[in-house]
Structure 1
Amino acid sequence: MRSALPNGGSDPFTQMGGSGFTAPSASTYQNFTNSSLFKEDIRSSGEKSNDMDFVRGVLEEDVGRRNSSVFSHFYRPNLETNADIIHIKMLRNNTFVTVTDSKGNVKCKATSGSLPDLKGGRKMSNYTADATAENIGRRAKAMGLKSVVVKVNGFTHFKKKRKAIVAFRDGFTNSRSDLNPIVYIEDTTRKAHNGCRLPRKRRV
């Protein structure tokens, strides 16, 4: 999916070694999101239109917070060249959230079981992913992160992934004056395209 854009430009999220991406500039990112390639990739990924609207809403929510209608939250003179990456891996009975730099070096991490209020069986409840992501959001704010790329992974409904992303954003932006740190959202869950044969179903 990291091919050249239809207008001949290059992909604003170029690989920087490991699993890193460079953060886009304001005009480049807006051109990318408005391009037919971005819309085609969203449709080919099987996501519904409301899921795509949520992603755009998370990325563009701070537009109305600016006093001037000319500048959106994409215009950041001090935007970091290399965006940090938030890896959210959601399993059936646990959630792993890891913060890495653009080269894959771990800065901090947390799991549902590592939180004091979610020990034992409580880590399997419905709000554990939200609590873990919010905890990492507060820690990322304390570390001084400015821009992040969120990567979610897990065979679960997009609704749960969406709640985890929003929880991270709420933990980071604890006041209305804070800018939304998320510059890109990617679902890295692997989907089998008629690959390995499934185990034989149990006869009842």
Structure 2
Amino acid sequence: MTEILRTAHTYELSPAELTEIRALLDDAFEGGFSDDDWDHGLGGVHALVRDGDGTLLAHGSVVQRRVLYDGRSYRVGYVEAVGVRPDRRGQGHGGRVMAALERVIDGAYAVGALSASDAGAPLYRSRGWQAWPHRIEALAPGGVVRLPEEEGSTYLRPAAGRPLPGSASPGGAGALIFDWRDGDVL
């Protein structure tokens, strides 16, 4: 059966498609996908994989965020809301979604970033994403706060032809400081 990959900005998705995507993510995350998680995945480019009958099999999105590192602000393509129907996992759909999102990152951002679950981390590592080995922080309303629970699960991918932040400096041990948002910051 032929599968169809489509990319579209949030504004191009109909209310019915958005409802369908949210249902897929609720199912994929077994009810652990919050309203804040949903909000984080909106406002950017979505990648959707459907089977030949039109059934939504997989989804992911990339949204713009800002990250401070070593006195510089980077425009980052942040990957959100990656999920595959539980009965269709292990068939390459997540990889197809990621390939589409990585093309967006390569064309529009200095670097890609994401926060990986234990289940998702092998997919990202297999695609060349690298766990950030140092501190993760956020610029909160009250100032910079450390996010130790995100350390080890935050992954970066250089956009085509660009080095990762810190790769040129010995040790590269500075913190990545992400912009603030409600819910899970990363």
Same fold (TM over 0.5): no
Higher percent of residues as strand:
2
Higher percent of residues as helix:
1
Q: TM-score if structure 1 supplies the norm length?
A: 0.29
**Larger Cα-atom Rg:** 1
